[in-house]
Amino acid sequence: MKPHATPGRNSSPRFLMCQPRHFAVTYSINPWMDPRAWAAGGAALNQTANVQWAGLHGALTDAGAIVETIEPEPGLPDLVFTANAAVVLDRKALLARFRYGERQGEEPVFAAAFAALKARGLIDEIAAMPAGVSLEGAGDCIWDPARQRLWMGCGFRSDTAAAPILERQFGVQCVTLPLINPSFYHLDTAFCALPCGSVIFYPGAFSADGLARIYECVSPAERIELTSADAVQFAANAVCIGNTIILSSCSAALRRTLEERGYAVVETPLDVFQRGGGSACCLTLRLDHRSRTIEAGVAPPEPGDVLPQRIVRRA
């Protein structure tokens, strides 16, 4: 499972992806997955997946990213959704523990991939979740660079009990957001924190408590609320590199809203992956997120330290 890199500069954003050679819908663990419809589509669907994946890969490298890839494995069709591999911050990786047996076979593959990244000096530390606590990586745990915190979705795949583990592991605050809509079962299907502090989210995905937490931390001017029409094309499942936002598709109105905030929107069709319940963000895992504590060379808090409750705002 040796990751290979495509060329790029050292300071470039770096992602982990897995080519969809074995991508298929052979079981159903979310409402988007229909194995019979996939089988009826025949080999053409996997071919389209490969073309669409290459389009996303190209959009990422065009935006200046380096892409590490892991070798696809037969029998693990969802391995392509690398966002779920781990939570990665400050060169530390906390490996995922999957909720369902269908994806648990991916755990040793991702562990080997991270061991290889560590051997190459791209990751310093690898940690595992304690037994019995599920956490499906960055798919449910999103780094918010403007607020210097993690947002964690819980309810369908990841356990609320993962939040204090994340806080201890990374020395940053972790806010839990209970998810209530089975179609938006991972946080990244309905939530995207942009570097400027704006947050794209679909209100229909969250419990009243979860929404209240978003409203408490994200000012009205920073909220980009999705209509259900944008939500069901997974417009929140976007990858942001600098001022470029890469997503499968979105409405003209959402494009305008993002452009008004200074972003260039790149649409690259990924609808075949939505048959598996994923899109742009799910197909990538950012490996180089850094917290400000680390950037400033300040010692991170020790486990058990009281973490600051105040929201760190942009200067």
Cβ distance to ligand ARG smaller for residue 33 or 214? 33
Give the nearest distance from C-beta 295 to ligand ARG in angstroms: 26
Give the nearest distance from C-beta 280 to ligand ARG in angstroms: 10
Cβ distance to ligand ARG smaller for residue 158 or 198? 158
Distances from the Cα of 169 to the Cα of 19, 127, 185, 223, angstroms: 30, 8, 24, 29
Active site residue 282: yes
Contact 44, 101 (CB under 8 A): no
Cβ distance to ligand ARG smaller for residue 219 or 228? 228
Measured between alpha carbons, how far is 299 from 79 in angstroms, rounded to an integer?
Answer: 35
What pairing do the DSSP bridges indicate for beta strands 86-89 and 239-241? unpaired
Give the nearest distance from C-beta 84 to ligand ARG in angstroms: 5
Measured between alpha carbons, how far is 290 from 260 in angstroms, rounded to an integer?
Answer: 27
Give the nearest distance from C-beta 175 to ligand ARG in angstroms: 18
Measured between alpha carbons, how far is 155 from 163 in angstroms, rounded to an integer?
Answer: 12
Which residues make up the interface to ligand ARG (CB under 6 A)? 29-30, 33, 78, 81, 83-84, 103, 139, 186, 188-189, 276-278, 282
Cβ distance to ligand ARG smaller for residue 83 or 150? 83
4 strand-pairing partners: 69
Measured between alpha carbons, how far is 174 from 166 in angstroms, rounded to an integer?
Answer: 7
Query: Per the residue annotation, which of 141, 154, 240, 282 is the catalytic one?
Result: 282
What pairing do the DSSP bridges indicate for beta strands 223-225 and 239-241? unpaired
Query: Per the residue annotation, which of 174, 186, 281, 289 is the catalytic one?
Result: 186
Point out the residues that are catalytic.
Answer: 186, 282
